[in-house]
Chains A and B, each alone.
Chain A
Amino acid sequence: ILNVEQSPQSLHVQEGDSTNFTCSFPSSNFYALHWYRWETAKSPEALFVMTLNGDEKKKGRISATLNTKEGYSYLYIKGSQPEDSATYLCAFKKSNNNDMRFGAGTRLTVKP
């Protein structure tokens, strides 16, 4: 069974706070990890595609790191804004699987 775990399940922060959350995945046969941002009533939108151990990607105030040896990825949001409120999903692919397995997501709420 391929388990992708995300924590915390939900998070409430104040505007301006920086925050981070975790995606854990099996470290064997790693191939790729994706982060998606999913706003209510919209479709998931790709943030990052990460394939190499030690990868660090950044898009504006959002960044992500990847550790394939220990099986985790962190997503960081610096200076959270209300428009960052969404569910953040990670998805993992093994080298011998065809599909991407999604975690249940971290639901972020940023209060003004």
Chain B
Amino acid sequence: NAGVMQNPRHLVRRRGQEARLRCSPMKGHSHVYWYRQLPEEGLKFMVYLQKENIIDESGMPKERFSAEFPKEGPSILRIQQVVRGDSAAYFCASSATSWESAEAFFGQGTRLTVV
């Protein structure tokens, strides 16, 4: 049973390009969370999704950022027209039920560098 898979592990984009980050949750998990870790900071919540639904996107910037978790396939975090300040590590986590009672499993993150 593979863990949470994120790809790519490292992504370099020029300013203005688009970044697509993928997260395949653990088998049987239908809850996905995305977090961002800025340099020298902790994990900051971005968005919580269940299959085909965005439950809470209160931590995600309203411009340029979007997330989806389709019925089939991985969850995608999309950043359009990237800027240098988007450089960070992006982690996703998945759980079988909503987070309050079940532990979440994290992927190894995607490190985005905007040059």
Which A residues form the contact surface with B (CB < 8 A)?
Answer: 31-32, 34, 36, 42-46, 49, 51, 89, 91, 93, 97-105
Asked whether A99 lies within 8 Å of B56 as measured between CB atoms, the reply is yes
19 pairs of residues in contact across A and B, judged by CB atoms under 8 Å: A32-B100, A34-B99, A34-B104, A36-B106, A42-B108, A43-B106, A43-B107, A44-B93, A49-B101, A89-B42, A91-B43, A98-B48, A98-B56, A99-B59, A100-B33, A100-B45, A100-B99, A100-B104, A104-B41
Number of cross-chain contacts by CB at 8 Å: 61
Given contacts A51-B101, A102-B42, 9 further A-B contacts (CB under 8 A): A34-B104, A43-B106, A46-B103, A98-B56, A99-B59, A100-B45, A100-B104, A102-B43, A102-B45
Q: Which chain B residues numbered 1 to 34 have a C-beta less than 8 Å away from chain A?
A: 3-4, 33
Residue of A nearest to B91 (CB): A43
> Which of these, A49, A97, A99, A104, contacts B103 with CB under 8 Å?
A49
Asked whether B102 lies within 8 Å of A43 as measured between CB atoms, the reply is no
Inter-chain CA distance A49–B96, complex, in Å, is 14
Residues of A within 8 A of B44 (CB): 102
Which B residues form the contact surface with A (CB < 8 A)?
Answer: 3-4, 33, 35, 41-45, 48, 55-56, 58-59, 91, 93, 98-109
Residues of B within 8 A of A31 (CB): 100
Inter-chain CA distance A70–B102, complex, in Å, is 24
